Amino acid sequence: MIELVLQHAVNALALSAIYALVAIGISLFFGVMGIVNLAHGDIATIGVFVSLAAFQFLLGAGAVDITAVGFAVALGNIGALLLGIVGAAAGGLLFYRIAFYPLRNAPPIIGLLCSVGVGFMIRESILNFYPDGRNPQPFPAIIPADLIEIGGVIIQYKHIVVVSVALLAVLALAYCVERTKFGRAMRSVLNNRDVARSLGVSAQRLTVIVFALGSALAGLAGLMNGLYYNLVQSDMGVLLTVKGFTAAVIGGLGNIYGALLGALLVGFIEALTAGFLPAGSAYKDIAVFGVLIVILIVRPYGLIGRPATERV
């Protein structure tokens, strides 16, 4: 029984790692702009398909066997993945400039509706313009299929890679937020945008940086999702947005550490429900959103979020 619980915990950590990267980006956007970006998962999809195109180019050109072992192969694989992250960041900045920036002084609901439109544009563009974009695409299995067994618990290399990469990204972000001048400026804007502006913080410049950073995290999440399941499709961002947004709300929308906590809860609820209930995979989303409703009833601002203060 203990081995089974630990096995599901390993799976939960991998899911939580992916959801955390998405949830943190959503919380950053909301904290800085006051807008819920429902296209965030679709930004991740941009990164995935940019990276997939790079892998397909490498394979088509015969430049390298991406499943082989060697320095040149590793360099090519890392380059393709980094290109996906850059593509996601560039896509996020593009949509910020043409869609969100003009609405910076509009009511938040307008920005939310705009993000829905952006998401549709991204999905339909992939469907219509990416080769065979209407069908699921295999994502290169560049992580070895080997596994480690510890006390009856099977840990695949992809579990280790996904969790390690997400952990490093979160630690780097935490250091940036807590220890750098940029992080202090971002915290001041998250706490009170008007006060931060009065203290000389360039909220507009900070918003651009945060959009690039959050979009890069989304791209990383999409790539980890692709490496974990080895399958990607044009609408994969919808699920990432739903799970990431749920995690952000559970932890406290606008709170980075709350997003991390929420992602852990969502991942563990999903894995344990699927593992221990008969036909649990059919009920895991019911369990997640049931917990979300209960938390919102008890703490409408999330587990470690703060009640919104109304300006008078």
For the ranges 167-181, 183-197, 267-281, the lowest mean pLDDT is seen at 183-197
Handedness of CA 156, 20, 183, 85 (dihedral sign): positive
Specify the higher pLDDT residue, 203 or 273.
Answer: 273
Q: Count the residues in the chain.
A: 312
- The mean pLDDT value of the chain amounts to 89
For the chain, the structural domain boundaries read 2-298
3-state secondary structure of 77: helix
The answer for 188, left when phi > 0, alpha when psi is -120 to 50, beta otherwise, is: alpha
| Closest to 81 measured CA to CA, from 52, 57, 104 | 52
Q: Give the model's pLDDT for residue 69.
A: 59
For the stretch 1-15, pLDDT in tens is 788 889 999 999 999
CA distance 3 to 5: 5
3-state secondary structure of 149: strand
Instruction: Give whole-number Cα distances, 29 to 111, 221, 257, in Å.
Output: 11, 16, 14
Q: What is the fold of 2-298?
A: ABC transporter involved in vitamin B12 uptake, BtuC (1.10.3470)
Rounded Cα distance, 64 and 232, in Å: 22
pLDDT for 187-245, tens place per residue? Answer: 787 776 667 777 777 778 888 999 999 999 999 999 999 999 999 999 999 999 999 99
| pLDDT tens per residue, range 301-311 | 999 987 765 43
Alpha carbon distance 218, 205 (integer Å): 20
The tokens describing 171, both together, are 């630690």
Q: How many percent of the chain have pLDDT more than 70?
A: 94
Better-predicted residue by pLDDT, 206 or 291: 291
